Structure formats: structure tokens, C-alpha cells
Amino acid sequence: MTTDKSATSPAKTSAPADTPPVGNPEAAEGAATVVDPRLLIREQGFAGYVTEFKRKISGGDLGSIPVVVGLAIIAIVFQSMNSEFLSAKNISDIATTMVATGMMAVGIIFVLLLGEIDLSVGSVSGVSGALVAVLSVTQGMNEWLAIVVAIVSGAVIGAIHGFFFARIGAPAFAVTLAGLLFWLGFMLQLLGDSGTINLDGDGVVGQLTTYYFTDVAAAYGLAAISVIGYFAAAFLDTRRREAAGIPARPIADIVLRTAVLAVFAFAAAYMFNQYRGLPLALVLFLIVLVGTDFLLRRTAYGRKIFALGGSVEASRRAGINVTAIRISVFSIAGTFAAIGGLFWASKIAAANQGSGTGDLLMNVIAAAVIGGTSLFGGRGRTWNALLGVMVIVSIQYGLSLEGIATPIQYMITGGVLLATVVIDSVTRKTQKTAGRA
């Protein structure tokens, strides 16, 4: 799902001189009325949706359509090849495995919104896992305290990268590439000659990916909370817009969207309950997505990030502290890289020399981009991490079920990423042609 900046700034059209602004009868005649044509189109019913869909396609606003269609194709193809693909066990495994990469992708999305890149997140995740293992296992530190130290270390590392980029002026690519090498070496130094430190499977980190809420009420309860929460938020937003005298989403529209969400949410809950229950890892991931989405779309800080991704100079003239925002964004990326590292350590129940290496960095960036975040900055949502990582992990699991070799998996994932970047580039050009970029 991508962020349509125009949605936050409704267009203004002049009302007839004898028509007072909607919701403000005391306003002077001839005053401008705020009108969002997309919301007005929805009031026309099904025909309005068709018209709006055509408008978005012609304007290059594809939204989440490509990735949703891609997920449907992936499910159909792999299920036809192997009936185990959509089994409860496989879906549960996918949901648990994708969290580590997804957490890191959330942090990368913040950086991509600036139009920059962070190549160090893989190594930072490895440092996080190594710190927890060394402090809690080798040094005997309380595991919760070790976790805090690891996450704070990730935030500090990200801030250091941001300082060299924002304050010194070094390119983010070069700074984080240097960070990739430096922190990889630091991780190997922490692990020592053995190269591997096993974690307690029953510890806090160990249970991040192994704990399941076995009571069926947990999965169904989360589904119900999600559906009710979405409806309440959308309904209150509609009432707020109506009170302000501006076009609002019709109730029928909200009900339809809520019904679609309910179908997927309760279907997922049913599948989880057919295996081991609701994974703790997925619950934590969803909480992070909701929190970061609110931060980006509902706070002044989030709007500053989008503004900075749109134009650095315009943001500076608007009074935004560009340096502080840049440093904070890289710090956020480091924080989520560290959190992702904890989930990876939990998945293998150890910290080893392979942590944070291999195709992890590629998958993290690919998850953000495939989900719909633009490489050019200024467009994206943290929910893109969920969609993108679902695509990547689903492909990996589907190919593994068929016994496809790892090199082929790399080539297919690379092809999907290339296709996504091409779509992003074409979309951007179309939007410029349509005057919407």
C-alpha cells in the first residue's frame, strides 16, 4: 500500500456564489468549498468506483494493486503445484519466518521515504544478536537488560550513520556501505573464535518465534479487534470530516472495506488455529505496523519525513530541521535492524558468523520496494513491509516445497524485484505526465 500525498491535501474548487460552504452556513457567500473529487466519485456507487479506478490507472496511481495481484498469483500457482502450500502449517511457518525480515523492512521504509538507502541493516542485525548472546549467555547478564542494550545499540549505530550523512555530508550509500563492513567485523569480534553462541530456547529471545497462543480465542480475538478497530477509526474519521464540512467517505464504503478485512482476518485466524495457534511473532509485528503507520500518517514528525522525501530545499525553507530528521530516521532504521536481529537469533536459537549476511539485506530492501515503497522517496507506508515480505517469503517457501535450488530462488526473487522497480519508475513517469508527482 502506498501513500497518496494528494489524499492529505484535498483539492479546492470554487462554489457558486449563492451556495454557502458545506457544513458552514454562516460563511460568506462565494467562499471556496473544500472538495475531494475522489470522495465525491465514491458517492456515485459502483459506477463511481469504476470511474475512480480508471482515473487512478491513467494517473499512474496503482497503489497496492500489483502486489495484491502478485500474492494471488503466487498462491494459485504454488497451490496448484503442491497442495501443502496453503496448508495451516505452511501458512503459520510463513507468518513466523517473515517477521524478522519484515521488522527490518519497516526501518528501511523510513530511510527510503527520504530517497536514501541503508546498506548496513544486515550487519547491524547481526551485531544485535551477537550482543544478546554474549551478554546474556557468556557474561550472565539479565536477558531483558541484554535485549535493551542490543536495541539501544542499534539506535545509536543508526544515529552515527545519520550523523555522517546529515551533518558531515557524506553520501548515505558510502556511509552505510562502510557500516556494513565495520559492523560485520565487530560482530565477528564479539562472537570470538567459536563463532557460534547458542541461546536458551526457553528464554525471552528464544520464544519470540516459538511461542504460540494456543487458545483459539486468541486468534479470533485479534481478528475481531482488528476489524472493530479499523471500522471505528474509519467511522470517526468520517464523522470528523463531516463536522468540518468537507467530503467524507460514505458509510457504505466503510462497511464494504470492513467486511473485506473481516473475511481475510478471520480466515487467517481459522488457519492459525488449525495448527499451533496464533504466533507471538506475528502479533508483535502487527503492533509495530500499526504504531509506525500512525507515526508516519498522523503525526507532525511523519509529515516532515514525507515532506523531506519530496523536496529537501522546500522542507528547509518551511522550517523543518533537515539534519535532525535525517539522523532520527537512520536511528529508527538501526533500531528496527536490531529488533529484526533478535528475531533471527530466535529463529536459529543462536548467534553465529552467518547472522546478518547472505541474502538478508537484499530481501529487506526488496520487501520494502515490492510492497510499494518508492525508491525515489516521498511515497510509501510501513504496511508495505507486510505485503512485500509476504511476497518474498511465499516465493521462497513455494519453491522450497518443490525442491527448487537456491540459485533459482535468487534469480526469481531478483526478477520480481526488477519488475517492481520498473513498475515504480513507470508509475512515477506517468504521474509526472498527469501532473500529480
pTM, two decimals, is: 0.84
Determine phi and psi for 352, rounding to 5 degrees.
-135, 180
Rg over alpha carbons for the chain, rounded to the nearest Å, is 23
Q: How many CA atoms lie within 13 A of 323 on its CB side?
A: 8
User: Which residues fall within 8 angstroms of residue 120, CB to CB, at 6 or more apart?
Assistant: 157, 161, 176, 177, 179, 180, 183, 334, 337
pLDDT in tens, the chain (437 residues): 444 444 444 444 444 434 344 444 444 444 444 445 545 455 555 566 666 666 666 655 566 777 888 889 999 999 999 999 999 999 999 999 999 999 999 999 999 999 999 999 999 999 999 999 999 999 989 999 999 999 999 999 999 999 999 999 999 999 999 999 999 999 999 998 888 899 988 899 999 999 999 999 999 999 999 999 999 999 998 888 888 887 777 888 889 889 999 999 999 999 999 999 999 999 999 999 999 999 998 899 999 999 998 888 999 999 999 999 999 999 999 999 999 999 999 999 999 988 888 888 989 998 998 888 888 777 888 988 999 999 999 998 998 888 887 788 788 878 877 877 777 677 667 666 655 55
User: Which residues fall within 8 angstroms of residue 169, CB to CB, at 6 or more apart?
Assistant: none
For the record, the C-alpha cell of 34 comes out as 473544500
Dump the DSSP string for 129-186: HHHHHIIIIIS---HHHHHHHHHHHHHHHHHHHHHIIIII---HHHHHHHHHHHHHHH
According to DSSP, residue 9 is labeled: S
385 and 289 Cβ atoms separated by less than 8 Å: yes
The C-alpha torsion from 308 through 303 and 281 to 222, rounded to 10°, is: -160
User: With 0-12 CB in 10 A as exposed, 13-18 as middle and 19+ as buried, what is 437?
Assistant: middle
CA distance 185 to 191: 10
